[in-house]
Amino acid sequence: MAAANLELFPPCLVLQDEHDNSHQHEHFRGGLTAGSYKFLRLFNLQSTKLFTCFLGIFVSYLIFGIVQESIVKGTYGKNDKFTFILSLVFFLCVFNAIVSKIILIFSKSHRDSTPSKMYAFSSFTYLFAMLSSNYALEFVSYPMQVLGKSVKPVPVMLLGVLVAKKRYPLEKYFYVLLIVLGVVLFMYKEPKETTKIVQAGEIFGIGEFLLFVSLVFDGLTGGIQDKIRDKHKVQAYHMMFAMNTWSCLWASIGIIATGEFYSLIEFLKTYPYVISNIFLLGITGAVGQNFIFLTIECFGPLTCSIFTTTRKFFTILCSILIFGNPITFRQMCGTVLVFLGLFLEQLQNETDGESTLHCKKKRVLNRQEMNSVFHIIVRRLSTQQNHYKLVIIGAGCGGLACAAKLAKKLPKDSIAIIDKNDTHIYQPGWTLVGAGLKTAEELEKPQSQFIPQNTTWIQSYANKIEPEKNLVQLDDGSKISYDYLIVAAGIEMNFNKIKGAVDALDNDPQHVISIYTRKYVRNVFNTLNNFRGGQAIFTFPMMPIKCPGAPQKIMYLAEDLFRRNNVRDKTTVIYNTSLPVIFGVKKYAAALMEIIKERNIQLNTRLNLVEVRAKSKEAIFENLDQPGTMKTFKYDILHIGAPMQPFEFLAKSPLADATGFVDVVKETLQHKKFPNVFGIGDCTNIPTSKTAAAIAGSNSILVRNLSNLMFGTNNPVRKYDGYTSCPLVTGYNKCILAEFDFDGNPLETLPINQGKERRLSYILKKDVMPTMYWKMLITGNWNGPAVFRKLFHLGGTK
């Protein structure tokens, strides 16, 4: 392959060069059409898929190069040469345009709204880049040309620093320095024996200048294509088609204007076998381009860049070993340095997710990651999954609060949020729905409204976590990998833990109800409001449950309703709880004991509902102090506090503690064994009440700790004190606003005694908190009331 040029005509004008910066490739993710997906389904095994993609790129571009060499460098007849470079470019563009058009037809994709002038301009700059790089070949060797075209990060950084005043992480300067050093080593010419002086022109001659011009035009093309993608959300094949069609036009004008066309016809008449070579060239180019798209789609831009860079390295090796292209040991060292720099640079692009380009952070790669660059390559190539810098499992209250905050810190598409649920529910409002104060519909909004814009929402459930491999498996069997993980999957309600409960809830909603779950909460108010007296039993299940105040809140509201409906004197209200006390915090427990005494509510502790006999309207409770001893209660209304449990996929994962909850350090929310994993909300084993309020009090702490880890910063972090809140609604216009920490110490925000029933607390619960939830908490703008607490108490509180 002496002086052969595999890069002579990069086969697709969409990517200005097969090896491009990963951020350019990134834009093609998700841009693949239905047709490509059908094609993808042919590959079932991930490993086969990866190998196929690698082989596809490697083989097609190798053949492309060999054929290209035989066309361009071969000798025809006695001494004829193929000099019709513009015409060859024209044919390649025709091939690419046809292939992309066929794919567009089969994929039935949307129309491309990009104005033609944008394509016209970028295809023109692209042609110019190609011509200058090809013309450069007349002055430099083939390995030099490949190397020269590979050093794109150098002008990108130069322009970034000098023109756009960008700042990059230190490591990136180092990698670019490696590339520059490598190029200098490669280009350095030994002084001639006679003069011992090297002229500047001998190092940087016309060939090198043309390569530089080609890079600048590549950059211009890339810039315009970025704009097109950002503004018009254009799909890869649309761009491929338009760019190639326009390039055909420009090239054909050139061919006719220079008279090359007529000479080519004469040439082909004399040497007709060249036509089949041109066909082969076009086909391998188009096939190679499709494998590039597939690799980006299946394995991400990093894997693709690694493939193409490796391919280029081997191309140079082939050129040296097989085709005898002369290269010195120094030049070989230079080549290795360039490719090492390129690899590291690509890895960093992947790890910091383009942040350098957007200049959002000063330092992006932490030490731990830097030490494991090799690990990243291995992981990426072995997992072969979609990769995200941050994966969040669960788009409930905790997941969204963190996602919204982190989406402001991380570049576009670095965060994936996994959750199948397409409706977001304000669960704390279910108590109010049960009391007829709100409708269930009022509490529900489309999830899509709250998923932060620059994140990826994966509408699936996670069903397995492999934290040792940084992998999450989805319910369709596919896997995604992450650098950091936040688990915020909530807690599972399971009425099946109580024999007969589901049957009674489903079939006897006039007597058996529950405010827990979207389905059952709709029956509660009707049943309570239509009640005409008898025995009303409210149960509290075994811990842990979310919002432990809820089972008694609905009881107080029901009791108030019975009074308002004049059936209270015909009703016995009973509260059977598995706990030894009415509430876990002494101050509020004392206040609640007063209320139940005053309102004649029977309290039975250490009783756990184990069975519902709908036919005989009997509820069977186990006495927890005498296990195995049952107590039967007749009921006319039975409100069931839902038993809960950790989700099985979490309980079975290495992230769980013995109880099945995510095992995190309670003050930092960082996992105890896997430092790149954090947990928030109901799914964790944090020893505080599982509430949205606890998430408000802890989300900023998680985000700060995770950010410190991600960006290698050392910003001060407040330790989570366990702040949680339980607005204990005790009637239609009163509420005790409990707020407390890990140790059950009150942490009241208002400068009044919140342990007293107050209308203000009721208004806060009914009218203010829902708005705060929707507008502030899940949008990442609410860090709990600590600041106000300090303000109201003039700093005299925690």
Ligand X SMILES: Cc1cc2nc3c(=O)[nH]c(=O)nc-3n(C[C@H](O)[C@H](O)[C@H](O)COP(=O)(O)OP(=O)(O)OC[C@H]3O[C@@H](n4cnc5c(N)ncnc54)[C@H](O)[C@@H]3O)c2cc1C
Residue nearest to ligand X (CB): 396
The verdict on 128 binding ligand X (CB under 6 A) reads no
User: Residue 285 or 549: which CB sits closer to ligand X?
Assistant: 549
Backbone angles phi and psi of 358, in degrees to 5 = -95, -5
Least separation in angstroms between CB 724 and ligand X: 7
Chosen residue from 427, 455, 670, 700 binding ligand X by CB under 6 A = 427
Q: What is the size of the binding site for ligand X (CB under 6 A)?
A: 36
Least separation in angstroms between CB 489 and ligand X: 4
Query: Which residue from 259, 268, 7, 229 is spatially nearest to 137, judged by alpha carbons?
Result: 7
User: Residue 546 or 568: which CB sits closer to ligand X?
Assistant: 546
The verdict on 418 binding ligand X (CB under 6 A) reads yes
The verdict on 396 binding ligand X (CB under 6 A) reads yes
Least separation in angstroms between CB 614 and ligand X: 22
The verdict on 405 binding ligand X (CB under 6 A) reads no
Least separation in angstroms between CB 517 and ligand X: 8
Least separation in angstroms between CB 284 and ligand X: 43
For the segment 463-492, give every residue that binds ligand X (CB under 6 A): 488-490
User: Exactly one of 12, 402, 726, 735 is catalytic; which is it?
Assistant: 726
Say how far apart CA 557 and CA 553 lie, in whole Å.
6
The verdict on 431 binding ligand X (CB under 6 A) reads yes
Report whether 730 contacts 559 (CB < 8 A): no
| DSSP 3-state of 363 | coil
Instruction: Give the bridge partners for 630, in sequence order.
Output: 622
For the segment 513-532, give every residue that binds ligand X (CB under 6 A): 515-516
Chosen residue from 695, 703, 706, 786 binding ligand X by CB under 6 A = 695
The verdict on 423 binding ligand X (CB under 6 A) reads no
Which residue reads 């996994």 in tokens? 418
C-alpha distances out from residue 330 to 70, 176, 320, 338, 344, Å: 29, 19, 14, 12, 21
Chosen residue from 118, 344, 692, 747 binding ligand X by CB under 6 A = 692
Backbone angles phi and psi of 542, in degrees to 5 = -70, 145
Residue 366 DSSP class = -
User: Residue 145 or 670: which CB sits closer to ligand X?
Assistant: 670
The verdict on 663 binding ligand X (CB under 6 A) reads no
User: Residue 145 or 684: which CB sits closer to ligand X?
Assistant: 684
Report whether 347 contacts 22 (CB < 8 A): no
Least separation in angstroms between CB 695 and ligand X: 6
Per the annotation, the verdict on 93 as an active-site residue is: no
Chosen residue from 178, 547, 640, 677 binding ligand X by CB under 6 A = 547
Least separation in angstroms between CB 514 and ligand X: 9
The verdict on 647 binding ligand X (CB under 6 A) reads yes
User: Residue 251 or 407: which CB sits closer to ligand X?
Assistant: 407
For the segment 134-173, give every residue that binds ligand X (CB under 6 A): none
Query: Which residue from 542, 527, 607, 544 is spatially nearest to 575, judged by alpha carbons?
Result: 607
- ∠ Cα 379 381 386 (to 5°): 80
Which residue reads 């410190």 in tokens? 708
Q: Which stretch binds ligand X (CB under 6 A): 23-31, 390-398, 655-663, 667-675?
A: 390-398
User: Residue 95 or 649: which CB sits closer to ligand X?
Assistant: 649
Cβ neighbours for 417, distance < 8 A, ≥ 6 positions apart: 391, 392, 394, 395, 399, 400, 403, 451, 455, 456, 457, 458
Say how far apart CA 785 and CA 765 lie, in whole Å.
14
Q: Which stretch binds ligand X (CB under 6 A): 12-20, 73-81, 239-247, 424-432?
A: 424-432
User: Residue 379 or 546: which CB sits closer to ligand X?
Assistant: 546
The verdict on 443 binding ligand X (CB under 6 A) reads no
The token pair at 581 is 């006390």
Report whether 82 contacts 206 (CB < 8 A): no
Report whether 637 contacts 528 (CB < 8 A): yes
Q: What does 285-298 look like in DSSP terms, one character per residue? A: HHHHHHHHHHHHHH
Query: Which residue from 304, 243, 273, 290 is spatially nearest to 24, judged by alpha carbons?
Result: 304
The verdict on 607 binding ligand X (CB under 6 A) reads no
Chosen residue from 61, 175, 186, 430 binding ligand X by CB under 6 A = 430
**Alpha-helical regions (H) of 259-272:** 260-270
The verdict on 541 binding ligand X (CB under 6 A) reads no
Per the annotation, the verdict on 726 as an active-site residue is: yes
Cβ neighbourhood burial of 35 (10 Å; 0-12, 13-18, 19+): middle
Say how far apart CA 106 and CA 721 lie, in whole Å.
58
The verdict on 353 binding ligand X (CB under 6 A) reads no
Q: Which stretch binds ligand X (CB under 6 A): 208-216, 344-352, 376-384, 426-434?
A: 426-434
Chosen residue from 57, 347, 485, 693 binding ligand X by CB under 6 A = 693
Least separation in angstroms between CB 351 and ligand X: 25
The verdict on 546 binding ligand X (CB under 6 A) reads yes
The verdict on 438 binding ligand X (CB under 6 A) reads no
Q: What does 624-680 look like in DSSP terms, one character per residue? A: TTSTT-EEEEE-SEEEPPPPEE--HHHHTSTTB-TTSSB-B-TTT-BBSS-TTEEE-
The verdict on 393 binding ligand X (CB under 6 A) reads yes
Least separation in angstroms between CB 319 and ligand X: 50
User: Residue 32 or 729: which CB sits closer to ligand X?
Assistant: 729
Which residue reads 């529950």 in tokens? 514
The verdict on 682 binding ligand X (CB under 6 A) reads yes
Q: Which stretch binds ligand X (CB under 6 A): 75-83, 413-421, 534-542, 664-672?
A: 413-421
Say how far apart CA 554 and CA 557 lie, in whole Å.
5
C-alpha distances out from residue 99 to 42, 89, 106, 241, 346, Å: 19, 15, 11, 8, 29
Neighbours of 775 (CB within 10 A): 11
Say how far apart CA 21 and CA 24 lie, in whole Å.
6
The verdict on 209 binding ligand X (CB under 6 A) reads no
The verdict on 461 binding ligand X (CB under 6 A) reads yes
Say how far apart CA 270 and CA 364 lie, in whole Å.
60
380-402 burial, b at 16+ Cβ within 10 Å, e below that, comes to bbebbbbbbbbbbbbbbbbbbbb
The verdict on 548 binding ligand X (CB under 6 A) reads no
Least separation in angstroms between CB 425 and ligand X: 8
Report whether 705 contacts 420 (CB < 8 A): no
User: Exactly one of 53, 547, 683, 735 is catalytic; which is it?
Assistant: 547
The verdict on 690 binding ligand X (CB under 6 A) reads yes
Q: What does 157-170 look like in DSSP terms, one character per residue? A: HHHHHHTS-----H
* Strand 423-425, strand 444-446: pairing: antiparallel
User: Residue 394 or 541: which CB sits closer to ligand X?
Assistant: 394
Instruction: Give the bridge partners for 417, in sequence order.
Output: 392, 457
Q: Which stretch binds ligand X (CB under 6 A): 98-106, 240-248, 613-621, 678-686?
A: 678-686
Least separation in angstroms between CB 585 and ligand X: 15
User: Residue 271 or 732: which CB sits closer to ligand X?
Assistant: 732
The verdict on 421 binding ligand X (CB under 6 A) reads yes
The verdict on 550 binding ligand X (CB under 6 A) reads yes
User: Residue 193 or 767: which CB sits closer to ligand X?
Assistant: 767
For the segment 704-763, give every residue that binds ligand X (CB under 6 A): 725, 727
**Alpha-helical regions (H) of 712-785:** 759-763, 769-772
Say how far apart CA 702 and CA 695 lie, in whole Å.
10
The verdict on 399 binding ligand X (CB under 6 A) reads yes
Residues known to be catalytic: 547, 726
- Interacting residue ranges for ligand X, rule: CB under 6 A: 393-399, 418-419, 421, 427-428, 430-431, 461-462, 488-490, 515-516, 546-547, 550, 647, 649, 681-683, 690-693, 695, 725, 727
